[in-house]
Amino acid sequence: DKSVSPSVERQKVTSIALPSSCGSSCTTLRLAHTMTSIWSPKVSIYDRDLLYCSHANILDNMVDKLEKYANHLEEVVEERTNQLTAEKARADKLLSSMLPRYHTQQHQNHQYNILSKSDSLTSSVLFRLRYVAEQLMSGKSVEPQSYEMVTIFFSDIVGFTSMCSVSSAMEVVTFLNDLYNLFDDIIKMYDVYKVETIGDAYMVASGLPISNGIQHALEISTMALHFLAAIKVFKIRHMPNDSLAIRIGIHSGPVVAGVVGTTMPRYCLFGDTVNTASRMESNSLPLKIHISQSTADVLVQGGSFELEERGEIEMKVTQDAACVYAE
């Protein structure tokens, strides 16, 4: 017998015609004949290998596609997770900019050390933690809290109404944006919290939500001096030849603080201290820091400030106030 070559064509298998009435015995004969024909030497070995390889290739292709799909799915999940993390970070940043933060004890120890003041300011971002923002994000309510002594800062722009009358709305918005960006950059260097801006009024507080001893008055006063120094070199875009002046008022005393509302929540301060600080600003003079006697007493304890007594003035608050200028 000659060896079977791959070029040998598969022979046509002729089925055996059997009577349909032969029953199960005929079925057995058909099966036996079919098996014999398939494994006949006349059938090419190449055909058998091709049949086996085709099944193997189908299985390999399925496994390969499943692996590719799994790898792609992992990449998609990782990409979506990174997007979710980035969005959450942006949301946290926005919420934290609207609500106050507190510092760890390690940061406070650095911050109140005058010799290492610059080091503490540089590392403030590393040690700063959310307080009120964490309460809201965790679904907890923020209970109002009273503070025995904080310092409130108010400032407004001298001649702002006159400036608006000769400026377009876009020019006014651009001017305020430039000015408040300048102020926002300055307050990052101090242990203070920007409460809000109302028109040309800028409000800042220190000593809450975590008390900082007597540092609140020192921080606000130093920040106010920084504001004045920056204002003297500030240029108005649409009025470059005009100089800018602000009035500043500062008062120290007790307040009640809490988050008001659930839509656009704001950390608000309430009490006569807020009203008095506002009156101190409205009764101040251009490029002057008008402080109350209570703030002056704290600054005397801290030292390193030159104070000029102004005397008593009548203001629309619960009582007349003795006022001084900080320089």
Query: Could you tell me which residues come within 8 angstroms of residue 140 by beta carbon, excluding any fewer than 6 positions away?
Result: none
Residue matched to tokens 């059938």: 43
Among 28-37, 148-157, 231-240, 255-264, whose mean pLDDT is lowest? 28-37
Average pLDDT over residues 11-21: 48
In percent, how much of the chain has pLDDT > 90?
Answer: 35
pLDDT band at 223; cut points 50, 70, 90: very high
pLDDT band at 97; cut points 50, 70, 90: low
Q: Please give the Cα distance from 141 to 139 (Å, whole number).
A: 7
Residue type, 28: T
pLDDT band at 150; cut points 50, 70, 90: very high
pLDDT band at 100; cut points 50, 70, 90: low
Residue with the bigger pLDDT between 135 and 180: it is 180
Average pLDDT over residues 103-121: 41
Q: Is the pLDDT confidence value at 114 over 80?
A: no
Average pLDDT over residues 161-167: 91
Count CB-CB contacts under 10 A for residue 221: 28
Q: Is the pLDDT confidence value at 226 over 90?
A: yes
Instruction: Please tell me the predicted confidence (pLDDT) of residue 206.
Output: 92
Q: Please give the Cα distance from 131 to 192 (Å, whole number).
A: 14
Average pLDDT over residues 234-258: 92
pTM, entire model: 0.63
What tens digit of pLDDT does each residue of 76-93 get? 888 888 888 888 777 777
Our CA angle for 255, 259, 263, nearest 5°, is: 150
Residue with the bigger pLDDT between 33 and 54: it is 33
Average pLDDT over residues 202-220: 89
In percent, how much of the chain has pLDDT > 70?
Answer: 63
Find which of 9-13, 54-58, 228-232 is predicted with most confidence, using mean pLDDT: 228-232
